[in-house]
């Protein structure tokens, strides 16, 4: 058993860390304030090859699952909102195209993403959140087109996406078997971006409504087989789970670093607060949580790349633990900063807000517990 990254992974980690420290972290507070998407930084990330990670080698992509997780962790450490957009594009939205796309679809969309395109994954609807099979967006065939009608909510990258993967049902009475997946490009007739949510955190990444009003999608943009959309959606979510765990680890690392530095600096009762046992115990608990979260996350990524399969239990365990550990770590980081931690002058205030969604999207903590328990009880 080897707990070390290999030399190539270490060099990659150092390169991304350097980029994050110079190009991302110094701007994160401003992006949080303005809620603007950093298109220029995404272009630089693409130039660096970060949008080729997780893409097939035959298209010039590179990097195994663990390398991708390292990138997500580092970007999240600098700006979790940008990382949310990055993960949505490269994993959640592109996995269905990489895994189920036709050659024509891959030829068109993979090189586009590698140049820094933004992509959305449009599944959630007002009445279909955790219960994703309950979607009500409809489609019907009209010659060489599919006609989509309905709307999606809370869609990351909605405002910026160049194209998106979305899901609609042909016949609700068929349940999940009636659902198909489609690729919709910005500018297609009948597609528009609706209301943009004002969120607690992750400000640089938009979360919007998407509206399909007799949206005409060319038949060639059907993704995978008709009627297989539900399993395509679940596979994308299952594959992406480890990335959300990595987001949480990155946010938690930033909160931990800030808290330790502050505790060594701030003096009360004549000594640095790091010398008070109450603070020391918090720091010890944060260090244990952070280590355990990272180990579970790396193990899940390692399992995916060595088995070549998407297991359910270990990524769910990693997401559940890492996101809830990040919650505890951010909470303690604010506590260690006292009143200053409640102000926008200190990074822990933003991290505390950004962290919260990791326990909700791509399967709430309750859904992760359900997945883990089903795997355990089904194995008996």
Ligand X SMILES: Cc1cc2nc3c(=O)[nH]c(=O)nc-3n(C[C@H](O)[C@H](O)[C@H](O)COP(=O)(O)OP(=O)(O)OC[C@H]3O[C@@H](n4cnc5c(N)ncnc54)[C@H](O)[C@@H]3O)c2cc1C
**Residues forming the site for ligand X (CB under 6 A):** 88, 121-124, 129-130, 154-156, 199, 202, 207, 357, 360-362, 364, 366-367
- Cβ neighbours of 4 (radius 10 Å): 7
* CB-closest chain residue to ligand X: 129
Please report how close the Cβ of residue 366 comes to ligand X at its closest, in angstroms. Answer: 3
Give the Cα separation of 9 and 168 in Å (integer): 40
Please report how close the Cβ of residue 60 comes to ligand X at its closest, in angstroms. Answer: 26
Distances (CA, A) of 220 to 51, 96, 183, 216, 233: 25, 15, 9, 12, 19
Give the Cα separation of 354 and 348 in Å (integer): 10
Q: With respect to ligand X, which residue has the nearer C-beta, 24 or 153?
A: 153
Q: With respect to ligand X, which residue has the nearer C-beta, 79 or 303?
A: 79
Q: With respect to ligand X, which residue has the nearer C-beta, 105 or 156?
A: 156
Give the Cα separation of 302 and 79 in Å (integer): 25
Q: For the chain, how far is it from start to end, CA to CA, in angstroms?
A: 28
Please report how close the Cβ of residue 22 comes to ligand X at its closest, in angstroms. Answer: 27
Task: Tell me if residue 4 is catalytic.
Answer: no
Strands 145-156 and 138-142: antiparallel
Query: How many angstroms from the chain centroid is the CA of residue 347?
Result: 21
Q: With respect to ligand X, which residue has the nearer C-beta, 155 or 168?
A: 155
Q: With respect to ligand X, which residue has the nearer C-beta, 160 or 332?
A: 160
Q: How many helices and strands in the chain, by DSSP H and E?
A: 12, 10
Please report how close the Cβ of residue 130 comes to ligand X at its closest, in angstroms. Answer: 3
Q: Which candidate, 110, 106, 118, 52, places its Cα nearest to that of 81?
A: 118
DSSP 8-state assignment for residue 342: G
Please report how close the Cβ of residue 7 comes to ligand X at its closest, in angstroms. Answer: 35
Indicate which residue of 73, 125, 314, 362 is catalytic. 362
Q: Which candidate, 123, 213, 202, 113, places its Cα nearest to that of 169?
A: 123
Give the Cα separation of 118 and 116 in Å (integer): 6
Question: What residues act catalytically?
Answer: 362
């Amino acid at each position: 058993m080897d707990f070390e990254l290999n030399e190539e992974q270490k060099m990659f980690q150092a390169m991304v860390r350097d980029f994050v420290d110079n190009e991302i972290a110094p701007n994160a507070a401003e992006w949080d304030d303005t809620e603007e998407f950093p298109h220029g930084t995404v272009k630089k990330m693409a130039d660096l090859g970060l949008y080729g990670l997780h893409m097939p080698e035959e298209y010039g992509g590179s990097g195994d699952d663990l390398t991708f997780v390292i990138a997500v962790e580092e970007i999240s450490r600098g700006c979790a909102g940008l990382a949310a957009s990055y993960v949505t594009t490269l994993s959640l939205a592109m996995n269905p195209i990489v895994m189920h796309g036709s050659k024509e679809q891959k030829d068109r969309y993979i090189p586009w993403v590698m140049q820094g395109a933004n992509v959305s994954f449009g599944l959630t609807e007002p009445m279909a959140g955790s219960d994703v099979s309950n979607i009500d967006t409809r489609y019907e065939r009209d010659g060489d087109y599919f006609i989509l009608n309905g709307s999606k909510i809370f869609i990351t990258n909605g405002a910026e996406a160049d194209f998106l993967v979305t899901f609609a049902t042909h016949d609700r009475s068929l349940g999940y078997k009636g659902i198909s997946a489609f690729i919709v490009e910005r500018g297609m007739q009948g597609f528009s971006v609706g209301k943009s949510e004002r969120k607690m955190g992750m400000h640089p990444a938009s979360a919007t409504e998407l509206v399909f009003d007799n949206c005409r999608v060319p038949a060639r943009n059907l993704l995978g087989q008709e009627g297989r959309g539900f399993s395509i959606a679940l596979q994308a979510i299952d594959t992406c789970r480890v990335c959300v765990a990595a987001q949480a680890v990155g946010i938690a690392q930033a909160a931990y670093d800030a808290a330790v530095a502050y505790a060594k600096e701030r003096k009360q009762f004549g000594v640095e607060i790091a010398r008070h046992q109450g603070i020391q115990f918090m720091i010890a608990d944060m260090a244990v949580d952070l280590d355990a979260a990272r180990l579970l996350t790396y193990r899940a990524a390692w399992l995916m790349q060595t088995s070549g399969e998407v297991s359910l239990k270990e990524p769910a365990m990693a997401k559940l633990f890492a996101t809830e550990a990040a919650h505890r770590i951010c909470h303690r980081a604010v506590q260690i900063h006292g009143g200053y931690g409640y102000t926008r002058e200190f990074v822990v205030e933003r991290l505390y807000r950004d962290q919260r969604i990791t326990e909700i999207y791509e399967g709430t903590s309750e859904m992760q517990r359900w997945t883990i328990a089903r795997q355990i009880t089904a194995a008996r």
